[in-house]
Structure 1
Amino acid sequence: MTDEVPEAVPQAPPEAPPEPGGPAPLGVVRTPTGHAPVDAGLERLADADHLPADGHVEVYEDVHRALRDELTALDAPSPASATPYDLRS
């Protein structure tokens, strides 16, 4: 038996916790959808990671508006579906 004491392994100092109420990234993974306007909205959500909580509302409302506009555009008739002929007799 030896009286050797194991050498202490230096440890990195612990990371400072975020300031209370300060911005803290959530680390949520945003998977691209393949639809550019929707993907732009998802990327816009990343802006909320760097804002205090009271700034999130503006980002969320902006993304919600953009997504709602995209969904509304799906209901709009496309110009290609318009009847090219006058059907009056």
Structure 2
Amino acid sequence: MFIGALTLDVLLGDVHSLKEKRSVVRPVIADLRRTFLVAVSEAGEHDLYRRTKIGVAVVAPSAAHVRELMDACERFVAARPELELLSARQRLFNEEED
């Protein structure tokens, strides 16, 4: 069993408040969950209204499948016109590792 962790640093477009930020980020998180069946959460930059970090966790039987899912999630977020993907960090863990 392999576990992947993807952290996406995102700049939001025309957003001027934390309430507007939520209205942009929530649908992205919901779409990632529904489309890729992964665990997703807003993972940082909670006090900044134009920035966010999105964390994605993936569990799959092979490292290749984990990488494919993380790559697909990254492309999905990068393709959103209301977002600018600033950076993405992928980490892969084997179940036997501590």
Compare relative contact order (CA 8 Å, sep 6+) and give the higher one, 1 or 2: 2
TM-score band by shorter chain is: 0.3 to 0.5
Higher strand share: 2
Question: TM-score with structure 1 length normalisation?
Answer: 0.35
Higher helix share: 1
Max radius of gyration: which structure? 1
